[in-house]
């Protein structure tokens, strides 16, 4: 058990194991995405009120869910690098931030496109949309603080503190739909209360959420491999790797 | 520890009173920016939110200075190597900052409320919510200041990392003033704002201490 943790701190070991995981994870992600898209876009009935426009839900909802969860992944990685000063956690934190920011942006843009036919406007200053915009800036703040420091181990610990402080905002964002909702509907899927979505529409949605989680994981792993190479380009294992190819 | 904290607060006050312009800048900023709102939105600005937004900006503007001077002259190093716990001393710094920015803003806010034609019932709610809310603003601002104190170009960065964290304060502060306009002084929003303040007093100095230790290691 403990050897596993020690190995986790070794860049060459992590680099190769991440490569092996990606070999399986990337095809799996593509398969899940393709199945979910085709199922959601072609084989579900159009909505009673929204017609076909509701289908953007299959991108919008998974992106928003994973963007929120990704913030926690980033904050936990930040906490690990504050407590144990693990190099891998530093790299994981920096690798998560842009992926999360991009997913937040995706959720905002698809939300705007969905909003035009259903709400009649591209953007409302609703609690949910505004707080997702704030989430985007939380991600950007972490990236900006990290990039401002020259020394990357100081940078990761500073950004880790910021990430942890920012977690206070996430429950507020998550709950904002239930507390003050105006145009954005409250959460349709809950763990305890069942789902307000018809099951034939729900299953492709759940599949797409799984697909986005695995997309998130593969993007983070790819990012981590790249930044490992960037940080350790002087090390002998990177040279050996370059010679192999 | 308390004596140490008292001395820090006293020192910060002496420093502030020796350069009164720094002391007066946030207040002047507060009134000046509020005067811009009627110019931009027309003479009838009913929104109490304008007052809250400007309070946010005034607190943000001054938060970069919490540790800056002491970082430059090296007294922050002395603070870090002192045997007294960093929790107390950073809380003392934050208290001094709040009583130089948040407290005066809250005290002059009734005047602003009259100028913006808020009903009398809302004025007390505005003062209380500003008193409580600016405590949270100072605490969060200190985290941002501690994270960026080691950087040359901290100014623009600090607003990027602090403003998203200010959002809950703005939401609950504005909501408690609105509740005051409708006649209820002790609203749930004010309770939530106070809860936020209690939580921030307990937790933010820990983050400030850790952030100071990290940024001074350069």
Q: Answer yes or no: do A161 and B210 touch at CB < 8 A.
A: yes
For residues A180 and A137, the model is more confident at: A137
pLDDT in tens, A128-174: 788 888 889 999 999 999 988 888 888 888 999 999 988 887 777 66
Q: Please report the ipTM that was assigned to this predicted complex.
A: 0.84
Tell me the pLDDT band of B15, cut-offs 50, 70 and 90.
Answer: confident
Closest by CA to A220, choosing from A28, A20, A22, is A22
Give residue limits of the domains in chain B. Answer: 2-215
Query: Does residue B45 contact residue B124 with C-beta atoms inside 8 Å?
Result: no
CA distances in angstroms from A217 to A18, A139, B13, B194, listed in the order given: 11, 17, 51, 39
- Cβ-proximal residues to B172 (8 Å cutoff; 6+ apart), any chain: B129, B133, B189, B190, B192, B193, B196
Rounded to an integer, what distance in angstroms lies between the CA atom of residue A179 and that of residue A133?
18
Average pLDDT over every residue of B186-201: 89
Query: What percent of chain A has pLDDT above 70?
Result: 87
- Helix, strand or coil for residue B13? helix
Give the pLDDT band (50/70/90) at residue A178.
Answer: low
Report the alpha-carbon distance of residue A185 to residue A237 in Å, rounded: 52
Distance of CA A85 to the CA centre of its chain: 23
Contacts of A148 in chain B (CB under 8 A): 148, 151, 153, 157
* pLDDT, averaged across chain A: 83
Helix (H) or strand (E) holding B22: helix B20-41
Q: Which of residues 169-208 of B touch A (CB under 8 A)?
A: 171, 204, 207
Asked whether the beta carbons of residue B165 and residue A166 sit closer than 8 angstroms, the reply is yes
Residue A194: pLDDT over 60: no
| Helix, strand, coil percentages for chain A (3-state, nearest 5) | 80, 0, 20
Q: Which of A137, A154, A164 sits opposite B164 (nearest CB)?
A: A137
Rounded to a whole number, what is the distance in Å from the CA of A222 to chain B's nearest CA? 27
CA distance A208 to A58: 6
Average pLDDT score over residue span A106-123: 85
What are B109's strand-pairing partners? none
Pick the range with the lowest mean pLDDT from A26-35, A130-139, A199-208, B98-107. A199-208
Per domain, the residue ranges of chain A are: 17-46
pLDDT, residue B146, reads 92
Is the confidence at residue A44, as pLDDT, over 80?
no
A→B interface, C-beta within 8 Å: 82, 131, 134-135, 137-138, 140-142, 144-145, 148-149, 151, 154, 157-158, 161-162, 164-166, 168-169, 172
């Amino acid at each position: 058990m403990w050897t596993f943790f020690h190995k986790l701190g070794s860049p060459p070991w992590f680099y190769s194991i991440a490569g092996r995981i990606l070999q399986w994870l990337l095809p799996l992600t593509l398969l899940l995405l393709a199945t979910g898209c085709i199922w959601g876009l072609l084989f579900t009935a159009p909505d009673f009120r929204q017609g076909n426009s509701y289908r953007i839900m299959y991108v919008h909802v998974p992106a928003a869910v994973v963007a929120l969860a990704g913030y926690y992944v980033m904050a936990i990685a930040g906490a690990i690098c504050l407590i144990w000063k693990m190099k891998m956690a530093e790299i994981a934190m920096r690798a998560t931030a842009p992926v999360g920011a991009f997913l937040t942006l995706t959720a905002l843009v698809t939300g705007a496109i969905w909003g035009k036919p259903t709400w009649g406007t591209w953007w409302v200053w609703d609690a949910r949309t505004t707080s997702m915009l704030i989430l985007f800036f939380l991600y950007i703040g972490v990236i900006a603080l990290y990039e401002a420091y020259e020394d990357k181990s100081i940078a990761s610990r500073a950004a880790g503190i910021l990430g942890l402080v920012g977690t206070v905002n996430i429950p507020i964002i998550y709950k904002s739909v239930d507390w003050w909702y105006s145009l954005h509907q409250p959460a349709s899927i809950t763990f305890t209360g069942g789902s307000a979505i018809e099951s034939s529409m729900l299953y492709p949605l759940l599949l797409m959420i799984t697909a986005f989680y695995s997309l998130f994981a593969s993007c983070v792993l790819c990012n981590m491999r790249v930044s490992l190479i960037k940080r350790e380009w002087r090390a002998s294992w990177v040279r050996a790797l370059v010679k192999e190819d | 520890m308390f004596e140490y904290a008292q001395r820090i607060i006293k020192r910060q006050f002496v420093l502030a009173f020796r350069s009164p312009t720094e002391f007066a800048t946030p207040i002047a900023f507060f009134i000046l920016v509020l005067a811009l709102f009627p110019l931009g939105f027309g003479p009838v600005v009913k929104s109490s939110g304008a007052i809250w937004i400007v309070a946010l900006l005034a607190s943000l503007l001054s938060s970069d200075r919490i540790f800056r001077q002491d970082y430059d002259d090296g007294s922050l190093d002395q603070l870090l190597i002192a045997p007294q716990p960093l929790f107390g001393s950073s809380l003392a710094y934050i208290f001094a900052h709040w009583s130089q920015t948040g407290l005066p803003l809250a005290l002059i806010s009734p005047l602003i409320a009259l100028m913006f034609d808020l009903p009398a019932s809302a004025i007390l709610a505005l003062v209380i919510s500003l008193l409580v809310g600016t405590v949270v603003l100072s605490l969060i601002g200190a985290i941002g200041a501690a994270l960026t104190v080691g950087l040359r170009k901290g100014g623009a960065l600090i607003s990027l990392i602090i403003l998203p964290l200010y959002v809950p304060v703005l939401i609950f502060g504005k909501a408690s003033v609105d509740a005051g306009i409708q006649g209820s002084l002790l609203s749930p929003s004010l309770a939530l704002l106070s809860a936020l303040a209690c939580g921030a007093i307990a937790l933010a100095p820990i983050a400030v201490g850790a952030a100071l230790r990290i940024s001074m290691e350069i």
